[in-house]
C-alpha cells in the first residue's frame, strides 16, 4: 500500500486525474451490479453496467439499457452520484470532501484541482472549488424545484421529488440521463414550456464553465469581462442561434423544439423528438454542434467553444492578412497551435472509432454510426436509437470514445510525455503548404 501511495505521488496531475476517473467508473460498475441496484424483474450484464457507469461519469447520457426500467431507486441514486462526480470532476469532489472534514488541502491537491478545473495557477484554487460547489448546489436546487412543478402533476410525490432531483443534476452536469422509463427521454414533455426552458437554462449555464459564471457575477458588464468569457459567451450564443435556425429549417419541429435541441446538442443529450426520425440534414447539424460542444472548465465535452472560435479567427486572420486578435486583444500564437492540435486529434478519434463501428456493425448506415460516435466523443448522449442494439465489442468502442471525450484527446495523448521542452532547435526551412 505504501509503495502504491509513493507511486501515485510521483505521477503528474493529468495521469492521476485519468486514473481517478477510471477508478470511479469501475466502482460505479460494481455498485450498479449489486442486487440492491437492479430491479427484481430485470437483469444487467457487466458490459451494460460498465457502459452505464462510463456514460454517467463521463456525463454523456448514452444508454444501452433503460435507467428506470432496470435500476432501483438505489441504483438511480448511484447514477446521480456518478453524474455529479463526473460533472464537477474527481479532483473538485475530492477537495470538497477534504474541506468538509476540516482538513487542509496540500499542494498536490491544489495542483490536481487546478488541472481538473483547467485554470492557470493554484492561487485561490481552494476558494474557487468552494465557489464551484456552492454554485452547483444553487443551480441544481432551483432546477429541481422548477422541475418538480412539472413532474408532480404526473407522478406520486416521492417519485416526483426523486425525478426532479435526478433531472436537475443530469441537466446541469450536461448528462442526458432520464428516469422516466421506456427509453422515451423527454418526448412526453415536448410542448411543456416550463420543463423545456428550465432544462435549457441548466444545460446552458452548466456548459458555460464555472469561471465564466463567476466572471459574470463579479463584473456584471460584458465590457469588463475577461477575453475568455467574451469568447465563450459570444460563441455559445452564435452557435445556439445558428443551430435553432438550421434545425427549424430542416426538421418538422416547433421553434421551442428547435431551440431545445440546439441547446441540448451542446453536450447535454436530452431530446423531445425521436432522433431516429430526423433527416440527414438535421442529424448533420446536430453532429456539428455535438463536435464543438461546451466550454472549457464546464461540465460538457467536445473540442470546446473557445477552440472553435480560435480556429475560425485564425482562418479569418490568414485570409484577410490581419493580426490574430479578438475584442481588441491579441491572442498568443501557442493558443492557435493547441487549438489545431486538439481539433486534429479529435477528428482522428472520431474517424478511427467510426471506422471500427462500420466494420463491427455492417447493418447500420453511416450517418447513424457517425452520429453515435460524435455523440459519445462530445459526451452528449443523443442517439438515433441504435445503442441498445450494438454488440459487446461496439459498446466497448463507445465506452472508450466517451472516456476520451470526457478527459480530452489532447490530455490523454500528452499526459505520458513528462519531460521538459528541448533547449536546442534545428535551423528552420520552409515547406510548401496548400
Q: What is the pLDDT of residues 418-429, one digit of tens each?
A: 556 566 677 777
Calculate mean pLDDT across residues 180-198: 92
Residue 377: is its pLDDT beyond 70? yes
Query: In this model, does residue 213 exceed pLDDT 90?
Result: no
pLDDT at 110: 62
| pLDDT given at position 127 | 75
| Residue 425 domain flag | no
Distance CA 394, CA 38 (A): 24
Residues with Cβ within 8 Å of residue 355, at least 6 apart in sequence: none
pLDDT of 117 reads: 59
Cα–Cα distance measured from residue 209 to residue 321, given in angstroms and rounded to the nearest whole number: 32
pLDDT of residue 400: 93
pLDDT at residue 160 in the model = 94
pTM: 0.88
Per-residue pLDDT tens digits for 391-428: 999 999 999 999 988 887 777 666 666 556 566 677 77
Q: Which residue has the cell 492557435?
A: 336
Around Cβ 311, how many Cβ atoms within 10 Å?
A: 17
Range in 135-139, 165-169, 204-208, 298-302 with the lowest mean pLDDT: 298-302
Residue 424 lies in a domain: no
> Considering its fold, how many domains does the chain have in total?
1
What is the model's pLDDT at position 103? 58
Domain span at residue 220 reads 2-413
**Greater pLDDT, 183 or 88:** 183
Going by pLDDT thresholds of 50, 70 and 90, the confidence category of residue 433 is low
322 pairs with which residues across the strands? none
71 phi and psi angles, rounded to 5 deg? -115, 140
Q: Give the model's pLDDT for residue 135.
A: 86
The predicted pLDDT at position 366 comes to 94
SS3 label, residue 71: strand
Evaluate whether 263 touches 176 at the Cβ level (below 8 Å): no
- CA distances (Å), origin 151, targets 77, 160, 222, 382: 18, 5, 36, 22
* Inside any domain, residue 87: yes
Q: Which residue has the higher pLDDT, 94 or 275?
A: 275
Domain annotation covers residue 90 = yes
Percent of the chain with pLDDT over 90: 51
The answer to the question of residue 431 being in a domain is no
**Residue 317 forms part of a structural domain:** yes
Per-residue pLDDT at 12 exceeds 90 = no
Q: Is residue 433 part of a domain?
A: no
Measure CA 233 to chain center.
17
Amino acid at each position: 500500500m505504501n509503495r502504491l501511495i509513493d507511486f501515485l505521488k510521483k505521477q503528474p496531475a493529468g495521469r492521476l486525474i485519468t486514473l481517478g476517473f477510471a477508478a470511479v467508473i469501475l466502482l460505479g460498475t460494481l455498485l450498479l451490479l449489486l442486487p440492491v441496484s437492479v430491479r427484481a424483474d430485470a437483469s444487467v450484464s457487466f458490459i451494460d453496467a460498465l457502459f452505464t457507469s462510463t456514460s454517467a461519469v463521463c456525463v454523456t447520457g448514452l444508454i444501452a439499457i433503460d435507467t428506470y426500467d432496470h435500476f432501483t431507486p438505489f441504483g438511480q441514486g448511484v447514477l446521480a452520484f456518478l453524474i455529479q462526480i463526473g460533472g464537477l470532476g474527481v479532483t473538485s469532489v475530492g477537495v470538497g470532501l477534504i474541506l468538509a472534514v476540516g482538513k487542509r488541502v496540500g499542494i498536490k491537491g491544489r495542483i490536481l484541482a487546478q488541472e481538473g478545473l483547467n485554470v492557470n495557477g493554484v492561487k485561490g484554487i481552494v476558494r474557487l472549488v468552494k465557489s464551484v460547489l456552492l454554485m452547483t448546489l444553487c443551480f441544481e436546487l432551483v432546477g429541481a424545484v422548477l422541475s418538480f412543478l412539472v413532474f408532480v402533476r404526473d407522478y406520486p410525490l416521492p417519485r416526483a421529488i426523486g425525478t426532479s432531483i435526478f433531472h436537475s443534476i443530469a441537466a446541469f452536469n450536461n448528462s442526458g440521463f432520464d428516469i422516466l422509463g421506456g427509453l422515451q427521454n423527454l418526448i412526453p414533455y415536448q410542448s411543456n414550456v416550463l420543463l423545456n426552458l428550465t432544462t435549457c437554462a441548466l444545460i446552458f449555464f452548466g456548459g458555460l464553465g464555472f469561471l465564466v459564471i463567476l466572471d459574470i457575477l463579479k463584473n456584471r458588464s460584458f465590457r469588463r469581462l475577461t477575453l475568455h468569457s467574451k469568447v465563450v459567451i459570444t460563441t455559445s450564443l452564435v452557435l445556439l442561434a445558428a443551430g435553432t435556425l438550421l434545425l427549424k429549417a430542416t426538421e418538422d419541429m416547433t421553434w421551442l423544439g428547435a431551440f431545445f435541441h440546439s441547446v441540448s446538442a451542446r453536450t447535454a443529450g436530452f431530446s423531445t423528438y425521436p432522433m431516429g426520425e430526423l433527416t440527414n440534414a438535421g442529424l448533420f447539424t446536430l453532429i456539428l454542434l455535438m463536435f464543438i460542444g461546451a466550454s472549457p472548465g464546464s461540465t460538457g465535452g467536445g473540442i470546446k467553444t473557445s477552440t472553435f472560435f480560435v480556429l475560425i479567427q485564425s482562418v479569418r486572420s490568414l485570409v484577410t492578412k490581419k493580426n490574430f486578435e479578438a475584442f481588441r486583444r491579441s491572442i498568443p500564437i501557442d493558443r492557435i497551435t493547441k487549438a489545431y492540435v486538439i481539433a486534429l486529434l479529435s477528428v482522428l478519434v472520431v474517424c478511427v472509432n467510426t471506422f471500427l463501428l462500420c466494420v463491427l456493425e455492417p447493418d447500420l448506415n453511416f450517418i447513424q454510426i457517425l452520429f453515435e460516435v460524435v455523440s459519445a466523443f462530445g459526451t452528449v448522449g443523443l442517439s438515433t436509437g441504435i445503442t441498445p442494439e450494438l454488440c459487446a465489442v461496439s459498446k466497448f468502442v463507445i465506452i472508450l470514445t466517451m472516456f476520451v471525450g470526457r478527459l480530452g484527446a489532447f490530455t490523454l495523448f500528452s499526459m505520458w510525455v513528462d519531460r521538459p521542452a528541448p533547449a536546442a532547435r534545428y535551423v528552420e526551412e520552409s515547406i510548401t503548404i496548400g
